[in-house]
Amino acid sequence: MHLYPLFADLKQRPVLVVGGGVVAQRKAAALRRAGARVTVGAPRLEAGLRDDLVLGLVSYREGRFDPSWLDQAWLVVAATDDRDLNATVAAAADARRILVNVVDDPALCSFQVPAVVDRSPLIVAISSGGAAPVLARRVRERLESLLGHSLGRLADLARRHRGRIRARHPGLAPRRRFYDWLHDGPVAALLRDGREQDADRALRDALDQPAGIPREGRVTLVGAGPGDPGLLTLNALRALQDADVILYDRLVGEGVLDLARRDAERIEVGKRQGEDQQATQARIHDLLVTKARAGHHVVRLKGGDPFVFGRGGEELEHLRAHRVSYAVVPGITAANACAAYAGVPLTHREHAQSVSLLTAHCKDSLDTLDWPALARERQTLAIYMGVARLPMLAEKLIAHGRDPSTPFAIIENGSRPEQRVICGRLADLAQQAGQHQVRAPALLILGEVAALAPKLGWFGAQCTPGAIWQHAA
């Protein structure tokens, strides 16, 4: 190893920061967060450090560096823009065997300040030995996305119960198995859901059970977004990487599934045209309960958001009725994502003050809609699953007073490499959709804001009214 990694306990220990600028303030703040008593030395202080001084957060030595400033210091940071001065500080610290860090000058450092992922009391530090700080930062960013903030609470919970865990599992192998359960099972899930008292109770119950580690399954309902894996939320990513079983819809793309845990069981449960929809949904309900009761973490992965035309509520009702624990991770719904990727703002101060999300999956759903209200101007309609009903949609809206020249945009495969956008007027909606052979998945946006697609679109080639705008794969 080029460097010896260690974590320093600086609580109530004096440290020195040489420099009075923005970088010095940043270094002083990080040291204070570790509990150090920080003294800043410089001829003058910039505004941020002056404020810290007034608040009593730092002490101040005014003037140019003097080696006597190092008296009592446990370590020192040189954060000036004068390399000769930084070298002088480093030499004085080395002479006294005090660890020194010189900002952006690894050759003068006796210790490096790593990139840090803070999930206190869990701390992850990343260092490249000063050779590639940008790479270290990028690794930190990757870890930030993988390590949830609840890990700190989990570490603290394990610390508080450490004595009981050792007493209950004196052997190393069973103790390791218990910690694996603690980190991967319902206690960690409860902490992620913000239920700290329930998590503590679950851990206590597990320690009181004579039968060993309990196996309690659970379900996480996860919104996969519209297709672009980059739109997956961090919580969704973590759920996928923790899943034992994944039940996924047909429209969930391979790019999203590629982010899941490699050895998870994957079961496609998407509904297809012509199938008995109720029977398919009943099978999904049965699988969720059966797999969870077998002790698995089941991820129910849905396109878009599970609570927007995703039957997520029905699935939670079924889980609750069968006493299966669950959590929900929202996703970016198709209306938001497809509109954004097509350059269509769903609301606009000059054009639309409201948005209605509708489904046109079947004729019965269309018959229940308030057509006079939907036909009013200055509102946006975002219509899901409506490809087969476009002629009827246009006919009813025009019949109830919507202007036939109202702009529309159909976004097919929104946010995916094969996305295409078809623009036109309401009167031509059915004809344009037929001419361009629109296929699901497609979202229809109707309203004055749709006219902005040719002007504001950014994903793919330019769109013009009455023409296709298709992303160049």
pLDDT score of 363 more than 60: no
Residue 82 lies in a domain: yes
Last residue of a domain, one of 113, 139, 163: 113
Q: What is the pLDDT at residue 345?
A: 97
Average pLDDT, the chain: 91
Token code pair at residue 45:
């202080």
Lowest pLDDT segment from 84-98, 306-320, 375-389, 453-467? 453-467
Domain annotation covers residue 4 = no
**Catalytic residue ranges:** 249, 271
295 falls within a domain: yes
- Residue 472 binned pLDDT confidence (cut-offs 50, 70, 90): very low
379 with 263, same domain: the answer is no
Do 465 and 339 belong to one domain? yes
Lowest mean pLDDT among 148-162, 313-327, 354-368: 354-368
Mean pLDDT value across residues 325-338: 95
Dump pLDDT digits (tens) for 114-158. 989 999 999 999 998 878 889 999 999 989 888 889 999 999 999
The predicted-structure confidence for 286-310, as pLDDT tens digits, reads as follows 999 999 999 899 999 999 999 999 8
Q: Are residues 392 and 406 in the same domain?
A: yes
Q: Which of 274, 305, 329 is the last residue before a domain boundary?
A: 329
pLDDT value, residue 463: 57
311 and 270 fall within a common domain = yes
Mean pLDDT calculated for residue range 269-289: 82
Same-domain pairing of 279 and 252: yes
Q: At what angle do helices 196-208 and 172-184 cross, to 10 degrees?
A: 150
Whether residue 79 is predicted with pLDDT greater than 70 in this model: the reply is: yes
Say if residue 211's pLDDT is above 90: no
**pLDDT tens string 394-434:** 999 999 999 999 999 999 999 999 999 999 999 999 999 99
**Range of 169's domain?**
150-208
92: in domain? yes
Structurally, the chain folds into a number of domains equal to 4
Q: Is residue 1 part of a domain?
A: no
Identify whether residues 315 and 345 lie together within a single domain: no
Is 466 found in the same domain as 341? Answer: yes
Nearest to 255 by CA among 273, 267, 242, 237: 237
Query: Per-residue pLDDT for 471 more than 80?
Result: no
- Is position 120 within any domain? no
